[in-house]
């Protein structure tokens, strides 16, 4: 009888140990399944619609500009304002790393006006003003960062531009001491309201010329005068999203 009890106890202990071992193994497998290498992959939402990833826009823009010229030496002057600012633009929105629809590129051709008003004191508290306006063709190239929220798009961009002065308000035409060709840096930001396929853009941009507006030796061979034009512009634009089958990129 004692041997039977001993044998029965050994059998029960063996079965319990085996069941516990299987249970632990099952728990370990569940744990490994829950925390395998795939569980640490980027869980970001992937945009698969090519019409969201790739967008082509063409549009026009009109702006109100405030411009001036920066002088390296003391000069009594002030800026001017202008409404003669109009441009045509092409915008290409594209993804980065395959599924990050936050980037774009914009190029355009615009005609704008900049200048300054030279103020001269002719006598005590009597000043004489001479306004100089220059008509320019600019070609901006901007790299864009964008965020789309429903029917609204937020945009921020930076890049450069090339320019050519083709006309002036001065009698006698553009002076020989004026550099007609130039280039500079620019930045812009704005918001777009989408009424597919049309978009309304409200933007602000700033340009700073890197080339000299006037010949540095205009007044002296020894003491050069450095001049750089700048412009702040508030604009409104109307853009058309092409978005047709010829512009959709296949995945």
- pLDDT in the model for residue 145: 95
Element (H, E) at 10: helix 2-34
* Cα-based distances in Å from 77 to 59, 128, 200, 210, 218: 36, 11, 36, 20, 17
**Residue 45 domain-assigned (yes or no):** no
- pLDDT in the model for residue 34: 45
Q: Which residues contact 232 (CB under 8 A, 6 or more apart)?
A: 65, 66, 67, 204, 205, 206
Do both 230 and 116 map to the same domain?
yes
Please give the model's pTM, rounded to 2 decimal places. Answer: 0.74
Do both 55 and 36 map to the same domain?
no
Do both 129 and 9 map to the same domain?
no
- pLDDT per position in the chain (251 positions), as tens? 555 455 555 554 555 555 545 544 454 554 444 445 554 455 455 545 555 678 999 999 999 999 999 988 877 888 999 999 999 999 999 887 767 778 999 999 999 999 999 887 767 776 777 889 999 999 999 999 999 998 999 999 999 999 999 999 998 899 999 999 999 999 999 999 999 899 999 999 999 999 999 989 888 888 888 999 999 999 999 999 997 444 444 44
CATH number of the domain residue 147 falls in: 2.40.160.20
- pLDDT in the model for residue 15: 52
Residue-range definition of the domain harbouring residue 93: 50-247
3-state helix, strand, coil in the chain (%, to 5): 20, 55, 25
CA dihedral 42, 45, 49, 54 (to 10 degrees): -70
Strand partners, 236: 62, 202
What is the C-alpha to C-alpha distance for residues 18 and 16, in angstroms, rounded to an integer?
5
Do both 96 and 14 map to the same domain?
no
Do both 32 and 57 map to the same domain?
no
**Residue 115 domain-assigned (yes or no):** yes
Do both 94 and 142 map to the same domain?
yes
Task: State the DSSP code for 50.
Answer: H
How many domains does the chain contain in total? 2
């Amino acid at each position: 009888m004692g041997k039977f009890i001993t044998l029965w106890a050994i059998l029960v202990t063996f079965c319990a140990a085996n069941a516990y071992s299987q249970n632990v193994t099952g728990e370990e497998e569940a744990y490994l399944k829950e925390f395998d290498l795939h569980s640490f992959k980027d869980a970001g939402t992937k945009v698969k619609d090519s019409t969201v990833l790739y967008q082509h826009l063409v549009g026009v823009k009109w702006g109100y500009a405030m411009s001036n010229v920066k002088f390296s030496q003391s000069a009594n002057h002030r800026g001017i304002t202008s409404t003669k600012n109009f441009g045509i633009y092409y915008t290409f929105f594209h993804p980065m790393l395959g599924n990050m629809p936050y980037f774009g590129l914009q190029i355009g051709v615009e005609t704008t006006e900049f200048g300054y008003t030279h103020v001269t004191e002719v006598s005590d508290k009597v000043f004489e003003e001479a306004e100089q306006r220059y008509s320019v063709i600019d070609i901006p190239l901007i790299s864009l960062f964008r965020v789309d929220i429903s029917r609204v798009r937020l945009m921020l961009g930076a890049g450069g531009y090339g320019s050519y002065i083709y006309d002036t308000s001065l009698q006698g035409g553009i002076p020989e001491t004026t550099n007609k060709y130039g280039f500079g840096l620019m930045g812009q930001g704005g918001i777009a309201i989408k009424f597919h396929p049309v978009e309304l853009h409200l933007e602000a941009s700033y340009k700073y010329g890197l080339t000299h507006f006037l010949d540095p030796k205009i007044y002296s061979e020894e003491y050069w005068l450095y001049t750089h034009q700048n412009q702040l512009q508030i604009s409104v634009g109307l853009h058309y999203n092409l978005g047709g089958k010829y512009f959709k990129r296949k995945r």
